[in-house]
Structure 1
Amino acid sequence: MNAETPSAGDLLVRIGGIVFLVGAIATVVTVAPLFLGTEPFPSAAYFVCMLMGVGFLVAAAGVVRTAAAQRRAAREATVSAER
Structure 2
Amino acid sequence: MRSETPSATSDESAPGDGLVRAGAIVFIIGAVATLVTVAPLFLGTDPFPPIAYGVCMLMGVGFLVAGAGVLRSIAAQRRQARTTAAAGGS
Bin of the TM-score, shorter chain as denominator length: over 0.9
1:9 aligns with 2:16: yes
Which residue is 1:26 aligned to? Answer: 33
CA distance, structure 2, for counterparts of residue 4 and residue 72 of structure 1:
21
CA distance, structure 2, for counterparts of residue 6 and residue 14 of structure 1:
11
Q: In percent, how many aligned pairs have the same letter?
A: 62
User: Please, what is the CA RMSD of the aligned residues?
Assistant: 1.0
Name structure 1 gaps, 5 residues minimum.
none
* Count of residues in Structure 1 that have an aligned counterpart in Structure 2: 82
Alignment of 1:27-42 (within 5 A): 27-42=34-49
Runs of 4+ aligned structure 1 residues displaced above 6 Å come to none
CA distance, structure 2, for counterparts of residue 68 and residue 18 of structure 1:
23
Task: Specify the code of the residue in structure 1 equivalent to 2:46.
Answer: E
Task: Specify the code of the residue in structure 2 equivalent to 1:76.
Answer: T
Name structure 2 gaps, 5 residues minimum.
1-8
Task: Specify the code of the residue in structure 2 equivalent to 1:22.
Answer: I
Deviations 1:11-66 (A, max 9, x none): 00000000000000000000000100000001110000000000000000000000
